[in-house]
Amino acid sequence: MTAHEPPALPLRFGYGTNGLTDLRLDDALGLLADLGYDGVGLTLDHMHLDPLAPGLAARTRHVARRLDELGLGVTVETGARYVLDPRRKHGPSLLDPDPGDRARRVDLLVRAVQVAADLGAHAVHCFSGTVPDHTDEDTAWKRLTEAFGPVLDAASSAGVPLAVEPEPGHLLATLADFHHLRRALGDPEPLGLTLDIGHCQCLEPLAPADCVREAAPWLRHVQIEDMRRGVHEHLPFGDGEIDFPPVLAALAATGYRGLTVVELPRHSHAGPRFAAHSLPYLHRAARLVAERTTGTSTVPSHGDPSATPEGSSTP
């Protein structure tokens, strides 16, 4: 099966620009279209649609035209490492002790919502950040809920869902933490979930496919890569422990039709090669779902989507 053949499931696959940072954005989008991807996870960063540089509206219109020409869908992602501060990774965050610094992150997210609306994106991704030193968790949760207010207002006005991601090591690290935030905010309609399949393997008590089913009502964006239990390292497909056919089957069964975006941010040095490898792998995994459903069998070779058991072999 080639990259351009449709998958056996009604899923739409994308690739994250945070894994293509050595390419110009126009070139990255052209590459993904040529490879057969359905869309892109666009991380707003200094090299790709810089959200802080002059002329954002005009540059966004250019990207919108390019996406339309190529037939690519888009999710706007906000996980750039140093877009706000050249010295602090992901800083400042929504949990920063300085109200002015928290406001800078809020402003970035509000800008991202506007960019997403102008691009016709299906969601805006974000995360909480890590708990600062000398800050108790109750204070951190209070800061987070307060900071989300203007962002949710912007998302509601723009009609673009906000998809918060549980991130290992952050205040909001698990699905349970997402539900804590959702309840604290009064379950606002614009608030949804980014589910990272690798993070499910890394630290959730449920297997990744079960996480998909549990998260289904709030699912607005999906990121996908391989990973091992207890190790937060984004791996190319086949290098970790995840059995992907059950995950893709669960995603299809939920009715989720947004993008499922490959996230390999530490592999930009060979981004085009990993992008070329990832889509056929996902298509094979989708095909295996159909084979299992019809009772046919495929003997997996090393590195094929079903070569490892679902879940983890480690405790």
pLDDT of residue 292: 76
Question: What is the spatial distance between Cα 210 and Cα 200, in angstroms, rounded to a whole number?
Answer: 9
Q: Are 196 and 41 in contact (CB under 8 A)?
A: no
Beta pairing class for 231-235 and 226-228: antiparallel
Statement: residue 298 has pLDDT above 70: no
Residue 172: pLDDT band by 50, 70, 90 thresholds? Answer: very high
Residue 310: pLDDT band by 50, 70, 90 thresholds? Answer: very low
Residue with tokens 């894994």: 19
> Stretch 43-48: mean pLDDT, rounded?
96
Q: Give yes or no for a cis peptide into 168 (omega within 30° of 0).
A: no
* Residue of 19, 10, 141 lying closest to 80 (CA atoms): 19
pLDDT of residue 2: 45
Statement: residue 296 has pLDDT above 60: no
Which tokens go with 89? 């990774």
Residue 279: pLDDT band by 50, 70, 90 thresholds? Answer: very high
Greater confidence (120 vs 306) lies with 120
Which tokens go with 169? 């090591």
pLDDT tens digits for range 173-211: 999 999 999 999 999 999 999 999 999 999 999 999 999
Residues facing residue 125 across a β-bridge: 163
Residue 313: pLDDT band by 50, 70, 90 thresholds? Answer: very low
Statement: residue 18 has pLDDT above 50: yes
**Residue 24, C-beta contacts closer than 8 angstroms, at least 6 positions apart:** 47
pLDDT tens digits for range 118-169: 999 999 999 999 999 999 999 999 999 999 999 999 999 999 999 999 999 9
pLDDT of residue 309: 35
Judged by average pLDDT, the poorest of 5-14, 27-36, 305-314 is 305-314
Residue 301: pLDDT band by 50, 70, 90 thresholds? Answer: very low
* Residue of 270, 271, 273, 299 lying closest to 284 (CA atoms): 299
